């Protein structure tokens, strides 16, 4: 009886142990699977973040390089355009000044020629008055000629 009882207790204990071991094994396996899934998710999230950061950095770097190149090209173009505008302005100003000087010289020459003609006419009138014997007309003619000459100067 005693052996039979010990065998039954041993069999019951073994069954309970196997049942507990199977439960512990299932719980341990589920815990391991959850931890593995969490680790895979965390690893994936870290990889995605790292990839996003690398892509952002590469994009920012490329944008900065493109901006620097565009700025340099713009400065080069602007410098050339300013130089061309300055050359054009200088040429136009020189042409305008030369034309203005030429027009002024032409006008001055014409004005002087007209004043000389009028002065000669007044002097001739004064000489004619002197030849007629009129001192007053001669003085008035010379004064008028002098006035014409002063205005011409």
Query: DSSP 3-state assignment of 134?
Result: coil
CB 134 within 8 A of CB 116: no
Tokens representing 18 are 């196997």
pLDDT in tens, 19-49: 888 888 888 888 899 999 999 999 999 999 9
Tokens representing 69 are 């190149």
**Which conformational region is residue 54 in: left (phi greater than 0), alpha (psi within -120 to 50 degrees), or beta?**
alpha
112 pLDDT exceeds 80? yes
The reported pLDDT for the residue numbered 124 is 86
């Amino acid at each position: 009886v005693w052996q039979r009882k010990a065998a039954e207790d041993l069999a019951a204990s073994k069954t309970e142990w196997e049942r507990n071991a199977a439960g512990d094994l299932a719980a341990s396996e589920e815990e391991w699977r959850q931890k593995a899934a969490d680790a895979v998710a965390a690893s994936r999230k870290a990889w995605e973040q790292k990839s996003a950061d690398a892509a952002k950095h590469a994009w920012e770097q490329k944008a900065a390089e493109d901006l620097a190149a565009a700025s340099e090209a713009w400065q080069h173009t602007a410098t050339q355009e300013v130089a061309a505008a300055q050359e054009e302005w200088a040429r136009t100003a020189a042409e305008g000044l030369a034309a203005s000087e030429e027009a002024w010289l032409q006008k001055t020459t014409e004005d002087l020629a007209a004043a000389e003609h009028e002065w000669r006419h007044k002097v001739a009138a004064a000489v004619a008055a002197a030849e007629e014997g009129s001192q007053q007309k001669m003085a008035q003619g010379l004064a008028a000629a002098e006035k014409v000459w002063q205005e011409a100067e």
